[in-house]
Each structure stands twice: as structure tokens, then as C-alpha cells.
């Protein structure tokens, strides 16, 4: 996949996260936050299963090769859905998403800089640090 296509895919995922958070907060308000979180993951599991049957080309035979900490992605996904769906009704989509993106960027650059979880070490230089500071300052301005 080319760099431009990957950036477009990432941008689409970011846009969908704001829409998903909105939908999940609606579901949570109507049926309850934990119940909504469960229902969203259940439908997501069904959707992933259908896609797996139609498009899957990997192998479950390598499940034992997955590092233990990578399995935390499932519970972390539940925490994300719960946190987003619980914060949007109280903060609004824009403010909640601003806090989410700022924290996500700070965490992502730490993972890159320190090469955490087996990821490639990508040093954070002064220019990147300046960009992160601008994003955090911008997020702070948007939170008022």
C-alpha cells in the first residue's frame, strides 16, 4: 500500500471514530453504557466474522506466536468504546474527540520514540516535539 493511500485510510479511520463514538453514545444512552458497549462489540464480532469468511487470507495456526500483551487489544477496545461513549454525552463530540486525539498522539509518539511493544524505533526530534506541543496547546484551546 502506498504512503498516500495509507494516509487516506488513516484519515478515514479517524473520521469514522468520531461517527462511531457518536453512534455508541446514542446506543449507550438508550440501553445503558455497558449494554451498549457489549452490543457494539457483538455486532463488530459478527461483522469481522463475515469479512473473515469472505476475504480472510491469514492463518489461525500462528495464534501461539502472538505476544501475550497483544491480546490486550480486545479488552482495550472495550475500554475505548466505553470511554468514548461515556464521554461524548457529557463533553460533546468535538471536545471529547479533541481530548482523545491529543492523548492518542502523545501515546503514539512515545510508542514510536521508545520502540515499545516491538514497534520500529522512530526517534522524536525537535520538529515533531514542536508539532506535538502545538497540538496539545490547540487541544487545550478547544477544550474551553
Three cell numbers, residue 99: 481530548
Work out the pLDDT band at 97, boundaries 50, 70, 90.
confident
The structural domain count of the chain equals 1
Global pTM?
Answer: 0.81
pLDDT in tens, 62-86: 999 999 999 999 999 999 999 999 9
Three cell numbers, residue 34: 455497558
Contacts of 36 (CB under 8 A, 6+ apart): 24, 27, 28, 29, 30, 85
The pLDDT, as a whole number, for residue 64 is: 94
Q: Find the range with the poorest average confidence among 35-39, 82-86, 102-106, 112-116.
A: 102-106
Domain that holds residue 12: 3-143
Amino acid at each position: 500500500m502506498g504512503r498516500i493511500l495509507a494516509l487516506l485510510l488513516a484519515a478515514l479511520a479517524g473520521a469514522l471514530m468520531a461517527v462511531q463514538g457518536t453512534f455508541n453514545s446514542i446506543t449507550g444512552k438508550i440501553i445503558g453504557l455497558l449494554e451498549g458497549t457489549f452490543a457494539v462489540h457483538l455486532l463488530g464480532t459478527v461483522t469481522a466474522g463475515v469479512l473473515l469468511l469472505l476475504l480472510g487470507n491469514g492463518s489461525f495456526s500462528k495464534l501461539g506466536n502472538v505476544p501475550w500483551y497483544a491480546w490486550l487489544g480486545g479488552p482495550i477496545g472495550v475500554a475505548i468504546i466505553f470511554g468514548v461513549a461515556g464521554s461524548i454525552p457529557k463533553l460533546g463530540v468535538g471536545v471529547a474527540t479533541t481530548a482523545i486525539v491529543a492523548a492518542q498522539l502523545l501515546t503514539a509518539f512515545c510508542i514510536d520514540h521508545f520502540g515499545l511493544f516491538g514497534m520500529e524505533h522512530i526517534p522524536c526530534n525537535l520538529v515533531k516535539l514542536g508539532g506535538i506541543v502545538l497540538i496539545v496547546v490547540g487541544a487545550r484551546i478547544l477544550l474551553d
